[in-house]
Structures are given as structure tokens and as C-alpha cells.
Structure 1
């Protein structure tokens, strides 16, 4: 009886002690983040572990990050990859995107206003990026990567880091290019058949084809017929500019690199394209055309040819199939110019750059998040999805399962901040997701002779302060001038005067700096 009463008196005390031990055990097993949320003991100081990429619940109190990225046709926030990355990394992210046209201007405005983006991904405009870095607008990433980014370090080769560094500091995480040739002239082959012509192989044959499109009206458009359409931010026309020996922004002339405006062939190129315009063979509205406007003219059956990236093929093909079910089209191979030259610009270096602005509210968390996205299984799931659901493996190649691959991974590359060493293999599935697109890609990258794929040697060049400071302004200056020449608003009689202005604005100094590197590389 006494023992029973004693046990009854001890029970409340035991309950209190048990509760206290549970609390102490929870604290010692990982500590608290300061707001009552427990975190694993082997974290990095913020409740994150090396396996965080596969544990969405590692830290329920991670801040919402804000990311700005390149334009895409769907809302970043509702596309399936956004939810996948939040699940895998535990970080909620609010996505904004740049406009399709004149995105550099919008980016300048946003960064100039101090918009607090935690990560910004742009096309690999190294001159624009280095300008931001020199102006003190970006965070030096190397200390953060060394502390929080082992996966990022593994993804960057020494050559990549040297090519991206500005004044010996790393301000961006690059995505290496995975293919060489981007674009060419896409032409309606059913129109060619109607006018009795083969696919052009020379500039002379291209002119003849466009003249036939105008005069014989194979599309049935009457006076609304457009032989070749482009948009107003397209002064250097892929393939055509290569036929004048200027496939890249800078090309070798007598052993040194020269920008197109100083190239002896520049005047010949402008003369040819402006002649197309005067004859009505180039879209009379091209100056006002947006990228989407030009594509609509082609996909609606109004235009017989357009200059586009091979990745644009699926959307164009889908719309054209609805408007003109019997339509057929193909890319034109490298055209030979009057001096026997031909060439496509061959990519080297980087496709995208991701940086963290100084205005970021969470630079350390942004690096941790990027590092988590590069955890191999997370990155693979981001890039191509899950085996058996989004892709299958056939003869060692990743093959997409449709339509779910396109529905849920078509835009996956826009969510990447750096790529792992296996991405070139994963990427096979991306390019195979549409047979028409793969055919176009393969034609430009696998079927064109290697000698006409002219490598852009500046793609992996180191930071050059004068070139980087001046290049964006100079490129805009030359682009605007070239458009005016083609449209007849300026005359080539003033070319030497413009070249003098170009050199005075930093062109001469840039040429000297670039060629000092080129001679000693």
C-alpha cells in the first residue's frame, strides 16, 4: 500500500523529468535556428547538410529567394521545374524574367534601381557582365563558393573560372556551351519546289530564290508576300554574314582580330543586304519587327524565309502545320560568298552566366541554393526528369518520353545556374524531344563540314578591361548604324567617318588590347 502511494507521488515528477530529457535531447541533436525550428547536427551553420538537395524539409525556415532570368514563353513560377527545385532544395523562389527584346536595357534599369534579386541569369554577354562587376554591382562569389559551394566548385574547370574572372575575382557561375552552331536561314522548300529551284548554296542562288518568291508568289500572298523576314535587332544576318568572311563578331584578318565594322568585307556585306531591301526581297517592315513579329510572318505563311535558332523550330512547325498543313521547310547550309568564303559562327565558352547583385538580401543563401541544385541527382532530375517517366535510355543515349518531357522539362535549362559534367549527355534528351528540331540541329551541327564552323576565339578569352568596358556600347553603336545602312537611312559614303568615331569611342584601344592577348595566347 505504501509502495503504491509512493509510486503515485513519483509519477508527476517522472513525467516532468521525461519531458525535460526530450527537450535536452532535441537541442543536443542539432540545435535550433533561433526560431524554434530544429536543424541537423552536421549542417553548415544554417541547418543545411551536404544531402540537402534531396531533403526538402531540412530547414523549414529558409528565406524566399528572388531570381531574375532570361525570357521564356511560360511563367517560371508555375512551370513544373520550379516546384521540383523547391522540393529538392527546400528553398522557395520567386521568379521574374527579362523581356524577349532589348533585355540588356531592362537589366540595366533593374540593377540600377537596386532591385533585390538574389540570383540573376543572363545570356553570356561577358562585356555586359564585366561592366556590372567593375561598377561594383556584383558580389564576389569565390569566398561564398569556397565556404558553401562544393558542387559549384566541382562544376567549374580552371579554364572556365579564368575566363569569367574580372580583376581576379569570380562574379559569375557560367553554363558551358554544349553545341556549336545556333542559327541559319530557314526556307520554305515547298515554295522552292513551286518556283522550280533547289535549296541555295551561294549568295547568288539565295538572291534568285528570294526574287522568285517575290515575283511568282508561291505562298499566294500577293503584295503581302515577304521573301525573307528578320527583326529589327538583327543587323548581322547569320549565314549571309559568314559568306563575307565575318561569321563572328571579331574575325581574323591578316593575322589579327578585327571587329566587323573594321573588316574590309563589311561594306560588301552591307551592300548585299541593303540591295535585298531595295529590291523588296528583305522584309520592308524589318526595322519595326519584334522577334515574335518576324516569327509570326513565317509561321502564318506570309514569309518564305527567316533567320532563326534551331530551338525555335518546334513552335514554328506547330503553328505552320495549323495554318498551312502542306508546308515544308529546311535550314540552308553555309552559303558561299563572292570571294568563295563560307562559315557559321561556332560557339565556345558559355551559354549563360548567373551572378548575385550587391542588392541581394540573401547572397549566402543564394549560393547554398545554387549548390543544392547542382547536387547530381537533383541536377539530373532538373535537366531530364525521372527515368521511365520523362526519359528512357536507348543504346547509351537519353531519349525523351513524350509528351511529358516537353510539358515538364522543355524549359529546364532556364532554371540552371551552372551545369554538371554530365550535362552534355543529359542534353541529348533535350535536343531529341522534337524530331523536326533534332533534324534541324543535326543539320547545322553534325552535317556541316567542320571547316565552315568557325570558332569564336573570344568565347574563352580572359577578362580584358578596355574591351569589356567598351564592347557593349560599341556593338550597339555598330548595330544601329548597320540597320540604318541596310534600310537606306545612312550611306556607305560615310563609312570612314563612322569608323573614326568608332575608334575614338574605344574601338582602337579595344583592338589593340584584344590583339595583344591574341598574339600571346
Structure 2
């Protein structure tokens, strides 16, 4: 259930936005419709400023990761948007607690033209009727309907059950997978694992055969950050992380009897010292550091980090043999792989936005070269320079690691001027081929996750037999009405 305090904030949010519309305070006399078809006709993608002439070309935006790395640089980011588009922007980017500050700001009466939010938050706002539908605009947009800009199939990620679109991607959101020390595979004359038995044998070798060559028994086969991203292993049983819906009923596959063999396999790794014993308390940084410092041969993490891990070690030692590689996980009995796709971040336009046409112009622009460079490389002459067509990062740009909210993007017409880091392309291809989104019903997953994690830890560490842990997990989820 949603905590009472959260319900109050959400209700205040909905009341504030909807109340503004009822009072006719849209500011331009042309607020989008709340229901039925989409709002006003889409501006042409090649001349989006024509509609925007009817309103002041300014935007109030709130974003979680898009923008400058410091308050001072955020101001430069605003000015760069204005230089590139002619749109005057006020960009609010809280340093922490984004969702809470977003809800508080809107509930206090602050208006925004654009919000950067997660798909989960978008679904909540859709339920409350406070977002502008963008389906028709997307269909009519020469930019966004181009499959080279956004692949056609990707739109399924953000569509509602009735096929409507309320949010447009801010970036390419990757997925997670097992990441292996491929140089250890080669050193020990092994092959990349395919089955659960293969994974056990490889991880056992990483534990026992001194892959780092220091003569000490100080390595583990696998480390995780708690239950973070075990999808690649549960794929062996054909089980999806988080929720699934069948015949209108919600269920959590990790709480079903089909999950028991996977928990027993993980318990075997734990009992034999193959699984890092600190996995229950690790955060992702500790997990990554074990991988980078030759303490563990496999972690479960994001596709983008395959490249960053390789680049980090290469920067430290240009002659290193270190090689991180993404794996597709384990196929189920039907030969199907199942990886996890991260929930996309999207741009949405609140129904009480004062400059909705300009907001749409900005959304289209965000998928063009100038915007992609801004969201990735950063601010020209601050993060990067263009010397006769040769793009070079400044010291500031190198420190910012080409990520101002858009480390990766969809638009195939805009290649990365520095190319992709080693291993990233192959890992991303696995995500595009095998990964799908989880279902995260509003207000349920946070409470369900605590129960799942608690009993999963008990099963993996042997505090309870796996069958008993799964049974108790399911009983508690049902008792709290978190599954049907």
C-alpha cells in the first residue's frame, strides 16, 4: 500500500494541477485537452517555431540528471540552450531527492513546462490526469517518427495499455546483465558459460584457480549488490524480475516455486565461498571496485559499465590484459534469454504548462545533434571545443565523462565523435535483443521489494531452505495484497 504521507502529497499534486486547469490559468488560453484525442495539432518538425510564436518562447524545466554538474554550470547549460534554440530556459536540477522535491514543488503551486521523470512516475501522473497526451504529436513529428532517430519498437516501452504516449525518451536507457572477466576466461582456458552448470564451473574456477596470479586464495567467482540485477540467472527458469500481469492479475515470479532451483543454485555458490559473502551489504560501488581490483570474476550490472570498466583499467595501465565482457545470461528450457531493461526516463508536459508548444519544440530538438552533444559532451567551450571539425574535450569535459544526462542516445544519424568504449556496443546489442522492461505498478513495488529481498537473502545464505523461503515470501506478499 502507498504510505499515507505519500498519498497526501500525490493528492495535493493532482489537486493543484487539475485545479489550475479548472480555473483556466494556463496562461496562453490554449491549454491541451485533458481527455479524448491529443491536444493541438503538432508543429511541423522542420519548422517547429511557427506554433511557438503564439506564446512566449521560454520554458521552466525540472530535471533529475540533465543539466550542469554544478549550480554554476547549470546556469551555463541554460544559456547554451538559449544560444542553440532561442528559447529562454529556467532549469531546476535538485542535487538530491529529486522525486520528493519535484512533488513538493508542484504541490506548492510551482508550474513547469517540462519534467524529466521515470516511467514509473509517468504512470502515476497519467493515473492522476496531470499529463498532456502526445500520441498525435509523435506520429506527426518528422523527427520522432524517424526510426533512425528512435527505433519504432522502442515506443512500446512508454505506451499505455490503450496505446497512448505521454512521454518522450530523454536518452537511450540500457539494461543489465552478467559482466565477466573475459581475460580470466582466456587465462584459465575456459569458455564463456551458457548453462547454470557452466556458470557454476566457471565461477568455481575463478574462486579456486588463482586467476589474478598473486598466489593467494583471495578471489570470488561472483559478487552482487544485494539482489541487484540477478535477472540473467533467473532467466534460466524463465522468470521475470518484479511484476508480471496475466489475465488481469499481478504476480511476482521470484516468489513462485519455479524460482526455487535458482535460489538453491545461488545458495550453493554462497556455501562454497564462490559468491562474495558481503553481497547482502554491498552497494554498487563496492561491487564494481571488487571487479576492478581483481577480487571477483563476475558482477551483475549495466551495459554501459562494460565500457567504463574497460576504460578505467586501460587508463590506469595501457598494457593491462583486463577485459570486461557482457553476457546474455542463461536461456530457459525454450532457449529464450531474459535480461532486464531499465525504466526509461522521459520528457513530459504537465497539463497546466504555460508554454506547451515551446515545450514540444524543445522535445523534438532534444533528439537532434546540437542537443545530443549538449546532453552528452556538455557545453561548448566549457566541456569541449571544435577545432576545425575536430572535437576535443577540455579538462572539465574529461572530468564530466561525457554525461550531462545523455550518456547514450538513439539517433543513428549522430555518431559519438569519440566512438564507443570497448565492449559497450556488444553489451548494448544484447540488451536490444533480449531485454524487456519490468512491470512496476504504482505504490506496490517498494513494499514488495522489501519482502522479496528479505526472503531471497534467507534462501541464498541458507537461513531457510529455498522452498520455505519462497512459500513465506508468497504468503506475505498475498497477505499485504501486493500480489493477486
Question: Could you state the TM-score of these two structures normalised by the residue count of structure 2?
Answer: 0.66
- Alignment partner for residue 140 of structure 1, among 131, 136, 152? 131
426 and 476 in structure 1: CA distance in 2 versus 1, 3 angstrom threshold:
farther
Q: Show the 5 A alignment for 1:317-336.
A: 317-323=310-316, 325-336=320-331
Q: Which has the larger radius of gyration?
A: 1
Residue number in structure 1 paired with 2:353: 363
2:383 counterpart residue number: none
Classify 1:274/1:239 alpha carbon distance in 2 versus 1 (closer, same or farther; 3 Å): same
How far apart in 2 are the matches of 1:263 and 1:76?
Answer: 48
TM-aligned CA deviation for residue 183 of structure 1: 2.7
Q: 2:422 aligns with which of 436, 454, 471?
A: 436
| Deviation (angstroms), 1:454 | 6.5
**SS at structure 1 position matched to 2:354:** helix
Structure 2 counterpart of 1:86: 82
Aligned: 1:473 with 2:467 = no
1:190 to 2:176 alignment? no
Following superposition of structure 1 onto structure 2, how do residues 264-279 of structure 1 map, counting pairs within 5 Å?
A: 264-279=257-272
- Is 1:425 aligned with 2:412? yes
Q: Which has the higher helix share?
A: 1
What is the CA-CA distance between 1:497 and the residue it aligns to?
A: 3.1
Higher normalized contact order (CA 8 Å, seq sep 6+, divided by chain length): 2
Give the equivalent residue in structure 2 for 1:482: 456
Structure 1 residues 97 and 222, CA, compared in 2 at 3 Å: closer, same or farther? Answer: farther
Q: State which of 275, 287, 291 in structure 2 corresponds to 1:282.
A: 275
How far does residue 160 in structure 1 lie from its aligned partner after superposition? Answer: 5.7
- CA-CA distance at 1:239 after TM superposition: 1.8
- Distance in 1 (CA, whole Å) between partners of 2:68 and 2:279 is 22
Could you tell me how far apart the structure 2 residues matched to 1:431 and 1:266 are?
44
Question: In structure 2, which of residues 348, 355, 361 is the aligned counterpart of residue 372 of structure 1?
Answer: 361
Q: 2: CA distance between counterparts of 1:456 and 1:413? A: 20
SS state of the match for residue 270, structure 1? helix
Residue 228 of structure 1 deviates from its aligned partner by: 1.6
**Residue of structure 2 equivalent to 1:495:** 470
**What secondary structure does 2:412 align onto?**
helix
Per the alignment, do residues 289 and 248 of structure 1 end up closer, same or farther by CA in structure 2, a change over 3 Å counting?
closer
Asked whether the equivalents of residues 81 and 412 of structure 1 are also in contact (C-alpha less than 8 Å), the reply is no
From 363, 366, 371, the equivalent of 1:382 is 371
**How far 1:242 sits from its partner (Å)?**
0.9
Kindly state the Cα deviation for residue 210 of structure 1 after the two structures are TM-superposed. 1.4
Q: How far off its partner does 1:187 sit? A: 1.2
Query: What does residue 224 of structure 2 align with?
Result: 230
Question: What SS does structure 1 have at the residue aligned with 2:444?
Answer: helix
Cα distance change on mapping 1:300 and 1:269 into 2, 3 Å: same
- 1:79-101: CA deviation from partner (whole Å, max 9, x where unpaired): 786543232142233342576xx
Deviations 1:254-306 (A, max 9, x none): 99985313433211222212322232222222222222221222123322211
- Find out whether 1:107 has 2:99 as its counterpart: yes
Distance 2:338 2:158 in 1: 23
The residue matched to 1:306 in structure 2 has which SS?
strand
Report Cα offsets for 1:155-211 as digits up to 9, x if no partner: 489x96996559x998942329868x7232221122223333222122212111211
* Contact 1:186 1:305 (C-alpha < 8 Å) held by counterparts: yes
- Cα distance in 2 for residues equivalent to 1:203 and 1:328: 22
Instruction: Please point out which of 117, 125, 137 is paired with 1:122.
Output: 117
- 1:442 Cα offset (Å): 5.8
CA contact 2:65–2:404 (8 Å) conserved in 1? no
Q: Which runs of 5+ in 2 are unaligned?
A: 1-27, 31-42, 146-151, 380-388
Give the whole-Å Cα distance in 1 for the aligned partners of 2:89 and 2:422: 36
Offset, 1:404: 5.1
1:346–1:259 CA distance, 2 compared to 1 (3 A): same
Gaps of 5+ in 1: 1-43, 391-399, 460-466, 510-521
1:175: which partner in 2? Answer: 169
Using the TM superposition, give the Cα deviation of residue 253 of structure 1 relative to its aligned residue in structure 2, in angstroms.
Answer: 9.1
Alpha carbons of structure 1 residues 224 and 379: separation in structure 2 relative to 1, 3 Å:
same
CA contact (8 A) 2:290 2:296 kept: yes
Q: 1:151 to 1:211 in 2, by over 3 A?
A: closer
Q: CA deviation at 1:237?
A: 0.9
Q: Give the aligned CA root-mean-square deviation in angstroms.
A: 5.1
Q: Distance in 1 between matches of 2:204 and 2:249?
A: 38
Over 3 Å counting, the alpha-carbon distance change for 1:284 and 1:96 in structure 2 is farther
